């Protein structure tokens, strides 16, 4: 704080003024002496002001000029403020250098974008990963990375999951981009080279696919010979017949496992083509329910269809059928005979929900986050009895993910479960729009466009398996 000397200064000024008047009376010219003293004081003030302005005009880089009185206090305070300011600037520079040095040491790329998406700064790793040049400073990142997947990811407001994509600057390389919003719309990007991980994942997929193909042929031959031998079961000894039946059952189980592995490998492959079509969900769900009734057989489960809307779905019918069949078959396997299973289709907040509800034993909460992992079993012994492969929910999850959908699971022990397939709005086709798509081109012009539906938030009220 500035040192306050006003009181003493004013006291000295008054004493000096009285002294000037006294001397003036002694010489017989008091007002002349007062005028000369006033003019001298004003000239001294102008001199001090000139020193201050000159010091400020020079950039205030040197120490302030020497002075006394109030002006000396002002100069001393300005000098202290200047010294503290320079010290703070040096501290900021040190912090900035340390931060920059630490980011330069990272193997992951870091990039800073302003609120308009222009590149403001990057570290060495980002420069190497994206082959950035000095002329790219200030450029829009969306002009450098034009991949539609990245453009869609960039315009999101929430970045819970990173984006993995091909590196646009290097062939046969992959990067993973995480993005964070901060400040007034600025973005911080973390860019990681995941080429090695993608190669390992591709090696795993190739191994599973090749091994499955190689195992499928001998299993088919073995299964065929076992079936031929079992046709003469009346001529076989009971122990031999029992062993052959066990071998045939395990062969069928292995064949199902191989088929599930091949299907899961195909779903894992992002580059595999997928022909989308318009699916009539009312008829589709009836077909799924019929498959479920056939699968239930003597267990006689009561499978009910509850279609609360007539909206259709855009997607691959085979993949969706595989996902829903797995959910229905799981409900049959893990529900008591004769119990109710409900397949529902309803419009939701930002899309539609296809759910499968059962009255089974339910699942403990700590199992639910891992249910969609491959070969994960909440009850290993029970799963072995049902002959499951442990891949059904993994297949359902991957098939839904290829349609930008997700699988929600809710369950309560001894009350049942609900498995909900939540499809996004862009996959849902309203009944009126479906009729427009089937109409002739001349009819299309006559039909007015339907306004978008207002989203209504709905959540499943029952529990999930």
List pLDDT tens digits, range 153-163: 888 777 778 88
Q: Are both 413 and 329 inside the same structural domain?
A: yes
Name the domain boundary from 101, 136, 156.
101
Tokens 């191994």 correspond to 207
- In this predicted structure, the answer to whether residue 393 has a pLDDT above a threshold of 70 is yes
Asked whether residue 453 is domain-assigned, the answer is no
C-alpha to C-alpha distance for 325 and 294, rounded to whole angstroms: 12
**Residues 126, 42 share a domain:** no
**In whole angstroms, what is the distance from residue 198 CA to residue 237 CA?**
54
Query: What pLDDT does residue 190 have?
Result: 92
Phi first, then psi: give them for residue 214, nearest 5 degrees.
Answer: -65, -35
Burial of 164 (0-12, 13-18, 19+ CB in 10 A): middle
- Whether the CA torsion 442, 443, 444, 449 is positive or negative: it is positive
Same domain, 262 and 166: no
**Pairing verdict, β 277-279 and 312-315:** antiparallel
Number of structural domains found in the chain? 4
- Give the span between the Cα atoms of 252 and 274, in whole angstroms: 29
H-helix or E-strand spanning residue 79: helix 69-105
Distance CA(353)–CA(281), nearest Å, equals: 11
Enclosing H/E stretch for 192:
strand 186-193
For residues 150 and 237, membership in a common domain is answered with no
Model confidence over 89-128: pLDDT tens digits?
A: 888 888 888 888 888 888 889 999 998 889 988 888 888 8
- Decide if 460 is inside a domain: no
Buried b (16+ CB within 10 A) or exposed e, 35-67: eebeeeeeeeeeebeebbeebeeeebeeebbeb
Q: Are residues 224 and 173 in the same domain?
A: no
Task: Report pLDDT for 299.
Answer: 87
Task: Specify the pLDDT at position 452.
Answer: 39
Q: Which residue is it, tokens 């040096």?
A: 90
CA distances from 20 to 12, 16, 24, 43, 211 (A): 12, 6, 6, 17, 113
Work out the angle at residue 443's Cα, subtended by the Cα atoms of residues 441 and 444, and round it to the nearest 5 degrees: 65
As a residue count, the chain comes to: 465
Calculate the alpha carbon distances from 386 to 22, 330, 379 in Å: 120, 9, 11
Domain match, 285 and 264 both: no
Residues 288, 382, single domain; the answer is yes
To the nearest 10°, report the CA torsion of 48, 53, 58, 63.
Answer: 40
Domain assignment of residue 201, given as a range: 197-268
Tens-digit pLDDT profile for residues 333-387: 888 888 899 999 988 878 899 999 988 888 888 788 888 877 777 665 555 555 5
């Amino acid at each position: 704080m500035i040192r306050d000397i006003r009181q003493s200064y004013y006291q000295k000024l008054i004493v000096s003024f009285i002294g000037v008047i006294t001397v003036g009376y002694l010489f017989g010219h008091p007002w002349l002496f007062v005028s000369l003293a006033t003019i001298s004081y004003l000239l001294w003030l102008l001199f001090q002001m000139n020193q201050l302005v000159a010091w400020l005009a020079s950039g205030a880089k040197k120490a302030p000029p020497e002075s006394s009185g109030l002006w000396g206090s002002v100069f001393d305070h300005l000098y202290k403020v200047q010294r503290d300011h320079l010290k703070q600037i040096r501290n900021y520079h040190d912090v900035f250098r340390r931060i920059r040095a630490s980011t330069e040491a990272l193997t992951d790329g870091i990039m800073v974008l302003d609120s308009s998406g222009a590149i403001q700064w990057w570290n060495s790793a980002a420069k190497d990963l994206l082959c950035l040049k000095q002329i790219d400073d200030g450029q829009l990142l969306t002009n450098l990375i034009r991949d539609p997947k990245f453009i869609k990811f960039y315009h999101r407001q929430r970045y819970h999951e990173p984006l993995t994509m091909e590196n646009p600057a290097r062939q046969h390389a992959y990067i993973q981009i995480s993005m964070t919003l901060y400040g007034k719309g600025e973005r911080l990007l973390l860019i990681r080279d995941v080429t090695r991980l993608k190669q390992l994942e591709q090696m795993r997929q190739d191994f599973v696919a090749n091994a499955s193909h190689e195992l499928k042929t001998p299993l088919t031959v073995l299964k065929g010979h076992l079936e031929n031998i079992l046709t003469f079961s009346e001529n076989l000894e009971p122990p031999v017949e029992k062993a052959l039946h066990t071998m045939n059952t395990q062969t069928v189980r292995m064949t199902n496992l191989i088929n599930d592995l091949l299907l899961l490998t195909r779903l894992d492959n992002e580059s595999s083509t997928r022909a989308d079509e318009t699916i009539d969900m009312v008829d589709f769900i009836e077909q799924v329910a019929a498959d479920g009734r056939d699968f239930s057989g003597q267990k006689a489960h009561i499978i009910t269809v509850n279609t609360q809307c007539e909206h259709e779905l855009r997607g691959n019918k085979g993949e969706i059928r595989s996902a829903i069949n797995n959910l229905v078959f799981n409900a049959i396997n893990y529900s008591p005979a004769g119990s109710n299973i409900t397949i529902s289709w309803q419009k939701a907040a930002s899309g539609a929900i296809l759910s499968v509800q059962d009255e089974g034993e339910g699942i403990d909460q700590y199992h639910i986050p891992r249910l969609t992992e491959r070969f994960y079993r909440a009850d290993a012994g029970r799963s072995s009895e049902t002959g499951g492969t442990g891949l059904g929910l993994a297949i359902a999850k991957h098939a839904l993910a290829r349609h930008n959908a997700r699988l929600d699971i809710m369950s309560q022990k001894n009350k049942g479960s609900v498995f909900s397939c939540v499809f996004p709005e862009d996959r849902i086709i309203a009944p009126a729009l479906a009729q427009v798509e089937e109409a002739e081109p001349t009819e299309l012009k006559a039909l007015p466009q339907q306004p978008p539906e207002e989203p209504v938030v709905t959540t499943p009220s029952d529990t999930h398996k």
